[in-house]
Amino acid sequence: MEDKKYAEEHIEGINDAPVLDGKKKHTANRQLDEAAEYLAQAGPVEYTAEERNAVIRKIDLFVCVPMCMTYFLQQLDKSSLSYAAVFNIQEEAHLVGSQYSWLTSVVYIAQLCLQPVSSYALIAFPIKYWVTFNMLAWSIVTVCTGATKNFAGLVTCRLLLGIFEATILPSFIFLTQMWYTRREQSFRTIAYQTANSLAAILGPIMSFGIGKATENSTKVKEYQGIFFFIGGVSCAFVPIIFFMLPNSPTTAKFLRKGNDRVIAIDRLKENQTGTKSSKWKWNQVWETYKDPKTYIWAAMYFCTSLPSGGFGAFGGLVVKGLGFTSFKAILMQAPTGAIAIVALLVTIFLTNQFRARWVIIAGCVVPPIAGAVGLIRVSRSDPYALLACYYVAQTLAAIQPLLYSWANLNQAGSTKRVVVFATMFVAQCVGNIVGPQVYLKREQPYYHTGLYVDIGCWSTLFLLIVFMRFYLNRLNKKQIPRRVALGLPADLKDMSIMPYDELEAYKTELANKMNAAGLDSSKLYENAFDDMTDYENPYFIYVL
């Protein structure tokens, strides 16, 4: 009864919609975040660092591991066309003109069109069922692609693949925000992006083996065998993902022991972003499109995805064009995944060491520019020097995951987070649509137009990163007087990105400082689960 009374009082307090900065505070359209409702009913709880770390390990096993497996398989399915291209799918399927380019672009056209549906589904439906349904569907489509022998069949299958893959990355961004603190999100984003890069290592090796197995077959062509095998592997993993992946912290079955569920939810209050509210909030949609950050992030994603879309579709053909056979060219694709993994691990280490994301991301843009310039300028008589330039350019794999992480850390509110990412993903899809189109068949194997466009995009991206850094710093300065008006210190630090060993010391120092000044330290988290946006919440601190 006491818990029920506490919950009712808490909800009533939220619904009163207090006035902040002279304006009525929006508190989740009078609906509490699901996590806030659970904590209100559970009441205060204390736990040790060991208990917290044990819960994090469980979350990694049941949330991060399934995301890694799913992303690995999605990348295999999506890249299967690139592997098939090395084994002459253009000739076997009688593709002419720009038809091969459109087989890549149509995937992203489908993803572009499906973003409104995907965004709504992430709020309205249990995420576990939504992800596994789409995973099963795209796996079946990949198998069916192996049975097609002309452009009409291939483009239909690729369109369906884009439809069912459209929700996976937005879902994982949402899952990461729902389950992890901001200090943890970068590592988990890099984890499933590393799985993506692992697919870039194993995919070419698998394709090499499939090509050898079907080389002399009269019934199954090499490119068909690639689709059959990769699609079948994805289908086999669907039951495993369904068993492991939870819907939310408030319902996860693996959090039944002791205070595990309360710990999993309570530790997220430092984010000031909430976890998940199942109501679509139009006020957050309007705010998203009034927010200049939305358009800057979208421009960044476009400038990142256009070059990666071109390299992803034509990488195998670029290597083959250096004078290597199909089998040697496919194996030479494998190191690109290893390069990507090294780049990801190095950059995430530096990012968390220096806690300045913009510097590291801007630095990541330089090697791809150098590699692309080398592919244009180095003599074609030296294929291994050109191959080295191609490998240098592959460090581009680190840019997009770091941008995902940076953008995630700087949005709040369930609906706003989904809509912001959907907008960025639309820009990413447009970039991936355009990317293959600037690699002109008449320029094969040089593709100078595509490379020049890529260099221009990376240069623009560098400038946007620098601009975003100063804009976020300006937003942080605007938050200071709002917090001071609420009785908080002006020099408040972002606890959500502090390492745990620093966090406890800072919490004690801050509490003592506030108590000495007659301030209430509990006010730090009063909006943590109100499903407020980053603009509405004066406690929100933007991450540079």
The CATH H-level (homologous superfamily) assignment of domain 49-274+288-476 is MFS general substrate transporter like domains (1.20.1250.20)
Among 36-45, 100-109, 296-305, 435-444, the range of highest mean pLDDT: 296-305
pLDDT at 496 over 90: no
Give the phi and the psi of residue 22 in degrees, each rounded to 5: 80, 5
Mean pLDDT for the stretch of residues 522-537:
69
Least confident of 61-70, 96-105, 231-240, 308-317: 308-317
Percent of the chain at pLDDT > 70 equals: 86
Conformation bin of residue 29: beta by default, left when phi > 0, alpha when psi is -120 to 50? left
Length of the chain, please?
A: 544
- The Cα diameter of the chain in Å comes to 83
The CA distances from residue 502 to 269, 509, 510, 513, 539, in Å, are 17, 11, 12, 16, 19
Please name every residue paired with 20 in a beta bridge, in sequence order, or none if there are none.
23
Q: Which tokens go with 228?
A: 């059959």
pLDDT at 179 over 70: yes
Instruction: Compute the distance between CA of residue 421 and CA of residue 404 in angstroms, rounded to an integer.
Output: 9
Which residue carries 């879902």 as its tokens?
171
Model pLDDT for residues 19-76, shown as the tens digit of each residue:
334 444 433 333 345 666 666 676 667 778 888 889 999 999 999 999 999 999 998 8
Please name every residue paired with 23 in a beta bridge, in sequence order, or none if there are none.
20
Is residue 271 very low, low, confident or very high in pLDDT (cuts 50, 70, 90)?
Answer: low
Q: Which tokens go with 289?
A: 């499109």
pLDDT at 231 over 80: yes
Instruction: Compute the distance between CA of residue 157 and CA of residue 495 in angstroms, rounded to an integer.
Output: 47
Model pLDDT for residues 334-348, shown as the tens digit of each residue:
888 888 889 888 988
C-alpha Rg value of the chain to the nearest Å:
24
* Contact between residue 278 and residue 124 where contact means Cβ atoms under 8 Å apart: yes
Instruction: Compute the distance between CA of residue 494 and CA of residue 541 in angstroms, rounded to an integer.
Output: 6
Instruction: Compute the distance between CA of residue 145 and CA of residue 125 in angstroms, rounded to an integer.
Output: 29
DSSP string, 457-495: HHHHHHHHHHHHHHHHHHHHHHHHHHHHHTT--TT---G
Instruction: Delimit the domains of the chain by residue range.
Output: 49-274+288-476
How many C-beta atoms surround the C-beta of residue 216 within 10 A? 6
pLDDT at 472 over 50: yes
Give the pLDDT of residue 23.
45
pLDDT at 209 over 80: yes
Mean pLDDT for the stretch of residues 424-452:
84
The rounded mean pLDDT for the chain is 80
Instruction: Compute the distance between CA of residue 297 and CA of residue 28 in angstroms, rounded to an integer.
Output: 24
Give the pLDDT of residue 167.
85
Mean pLDDT for the stretch of residues 269-282:
62
pLDDT at 2 over 60: no
* Contact between residue 160 and residue 231 where contact means Cβ atoms under 8 Å apart: no
DSSP class of residue 399 equals: H
Q: Which tokens go with 407?
A: 């953008």
Which residue carries 């995630």 as its tokens?
408
- Comparing CA positions, the residue from 429, 425, 341 lying closest to residue 169 is 425
Q: 257 or 245: which carries more pLDDT confidence?
A: 245
* Contact between residue 368 and residue 396 where contact means Cβ atoms under 8 Å apart: yes
Give the pLDDT of residue 99.
85
Mean pLDDT for the stretch of residues 171-178:
84
H/E run at residue 283: helix 282-290
* Contact between residue 544 and residue 465 where contact means Cβ atoms under 8 Å apart: no
Among 77-86, 129-138, 346-355, 411-420, the range of highest mean pLDDT: 129-138
Mean pLDDT for the stretch of residues 141-163:
91
With a CB cutoff of 8 Å and minimum separation 6, the contacts of 173 are 189, 404, 408, 417, 421
Instruction: Compute the distance between CA of residue 139 and CA of residue 37 in angstroms, rounded to an integer.
Output: 37
pLDDT at 519 over 70: no
Model pLDDT for residues 388-418, shown as the tens digit of each residue:
888 888 888 889 888 888 887 888 777 888 8
* Contact between residue 29 and residue 415 where contact means Cβ atoms under 8 Å apart: no
DSSP class of residue 55 equals: H
Give the pLDDT of residue 143.
93
Mean pLDDT for the stretch of residues 438-444:
81
The CA distances from residue 366 to 155, 274, 370, 403, 462, in Å, are 35, 36, 6, 15, 8
Give the pLDDT of residue 1.
40
Give the pLDDT of residue 335.
84
Model pLDDT for residues 117-126, shown as the tens digit of each residue:
877 787 778 8
Q: 126 or 507: which carries more pLDDT confidence?
A: 126
Percent of the chain at pLDDT > 90 equals: 22
pLDDT at 314 over 80: no
With a CB cutoff of 8 Å and minimum separation 6, the contacts of 44 are none
Instruction: Compute the distance between CA of residue 202 and CA of residue 57 in angstroms, rounded to an integer.
Output: 27
Q: 40 or 240: which carries more pLDDT confidence?
A: 240
- Comparing CA positions, the residue from 425, 449, 422 lying closest to residue 437 is 449
